[in-house]
């Protein structure tokens, strides 16, 4: 029984896709920082192009890296402030949580449920504490190594970005090279708009979350606003998770009424921003269906962990735009995109 050429092409495409995914997962230590560096380079390239008209290339590179370092410094300062706010509250939170858990265990035992002792009362051995400390140090060192790799790759990308058009034209036929250049320009434009809109809506979400918690008297309003800002970069899942901590704190310390009002307010805020404000600002720049956006978070999270969940939507957007630029793969772009989107090549 002979196999048609079309079937052969489909089978080869499936095999190639599986191999690419396996390679990305196996080489995550390099490919994940490279993806981060690529998206940062896309985001800052307009600024780089503008500065290159006035400054030498090496000075432009230093200025951009210093700007990114300043942004990272502000983020670290915000995290340190959050830790300073949380630390004095930890004994109070721990005591209150232990009281509630003890009450729940006693109530369960009254109904004959086999419940063990309060796990919060168990103290870890010195060996366990030492192991946790070593694990924490290893995590910090691993994060620092990834950061150094991202910065190194970013610097090299920024030095090479202006020459990629000439390299593409020399390396591919005229028609193919123009399609690749058009696809890269479209990807850059859409990703920049996506990242800027996500930053704006995340900042707006964080501010409104903090203000709402502050008005209701929920503890650590600034911390909940910061968490909402960060988690909003993870579409769908992040906005759901961001509502949980302040709601629990409101229930534990303010009672059912404050907890319910907190939940309703934050949920309403997320619905309005996620379903009206964000789509209005995005326009047609992010051409993904909500289902595909959620699947992309899960898939890239499986490939690269937490970093993959953060990069999931931008990676899928880039894939959709690239597939939409070429006739043989335009069907993939249609399947992954929002209903009614036009993928006429640039």
Q: DSSP states of 1-51 as a string?
A: ----HHHHHHHHHHHHHHHHHHHHHHTHHHHHHHHHHHHHHHHHHHHHHHH
**What would the mean pLDDT of 36-57 be, rounded to a whole number?**
85
pLDDT 10s digits, 148-161: 888 888 888 888 77
Longest dimension (CA), the chain: 79
pLDDT band for position 125 (cuts 50, 70, 90)? very low
Give the Cα separation of 76 and 5 in Å (integer).
55
Q: Give the residue from 188, 335, 290, 333 showing the smallest Cα distance to 344.
A: 333
Sign of the CA dihedral running 324, 181, 26, 311: negative
Q: How far is CA 218 from CA 1, 57, 244, 261, 265, in A?
A: 70, 49, 13, 11, 12
Looking at residue 245, what is its pLDDT? Answer: 86
The pTM for the full model equals 0.70
How far are the Cα atoms of 72, 147, 226, 311 from residue 76, in angstroms, in the given order? 6, 14, 12, 20
Give dist(CA 134, CA 138) in Å, integer.
Answer: 6
Kindly state the tokens that stand for 158: 């920024």
Burial grade of 167 (CB within 10 A; 0-12, 13-18, 19 or more): exposed
Q: What is the Cα–Cα distance from 310 to 150, expressed in whole angstroms?
A: 15
The tens digit of pLDDT for each residue in 205-246 reads 999 999 999 999 888 888 889 888 888 877 667 778 888 889
Predicted confidence (pLDDT) at residue 100 exceeds the cutoff of 80: no
pLDDT tens-digit series, residues 105-118:
767 667 666 666 55
């Amino acid at each position: 029984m002979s196999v048609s050429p079309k079937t052969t092409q489909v089978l080869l495409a499936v095999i190639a896709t599986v191999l690419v995914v396996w390679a990305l997962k196996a080489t995550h230590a390099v490919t994940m920082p490279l993806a981060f560096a690529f998206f940062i380079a896309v985001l800052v390239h307009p600024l780089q192009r503008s500065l290159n008209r006035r400054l030498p290339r090496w000075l432009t590179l230093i200025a951009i890296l210093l700007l990114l370092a300043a942004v990272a410094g502000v983020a670290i300062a915000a995290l340190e402030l959050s830790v300073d706010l949380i630390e004095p509250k930890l004994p109070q939170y721990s005591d209150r949580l232990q009281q509630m858990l003890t009450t729940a265990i006693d109530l369960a035992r009254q109904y004959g449920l086999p419940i063990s002792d309060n796990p919060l009362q168990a103290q870890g051995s010195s060996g366990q504490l030492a192991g946790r400390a070593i694990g924490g140090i290893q995590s910090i060192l691993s994060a620092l190594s990834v950061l150094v790799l991202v910065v190194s790759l970013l610097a090299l990308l920024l030095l090479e970005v202006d020459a990629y058009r000439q390299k593409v034209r020399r390396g591919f036929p005229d028609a193919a090279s123009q399609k690749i250049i058009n696809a890269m320009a479209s990807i850059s434009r859409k990703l920049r708009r996506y990242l800027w809109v996500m930053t704006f809506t995340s900042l707006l979400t964080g501010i409104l979350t903090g203000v709402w918690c502050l008005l209701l008297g929920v503890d650590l309003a600034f911390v909940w606003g910061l968490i909402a800002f960060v988690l909003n970069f993870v579409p769908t899942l992040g906005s759901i998770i961001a509502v949980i901590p302040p709601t629990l704190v409101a229930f534990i310390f303010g009672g059912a009424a404050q907890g319910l009002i907190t939940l309703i307010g934050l949920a309403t805020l997320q619905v309005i921003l996620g379903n009206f404000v964000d789509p209005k600002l995005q326009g047609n720049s992010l051409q993904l269906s909500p289902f595909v956006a959620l699947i992309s978070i899960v898939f890239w999270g499986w490939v690269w962990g937490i970093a993959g969940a953060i990069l999931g939507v931008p990676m899928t957007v880039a894939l959709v735009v690239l597939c939409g630029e070429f006739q043989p793969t335009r069907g993939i772009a249609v399947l992954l995109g929002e209903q009614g989107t036009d993928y006429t090549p640039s």
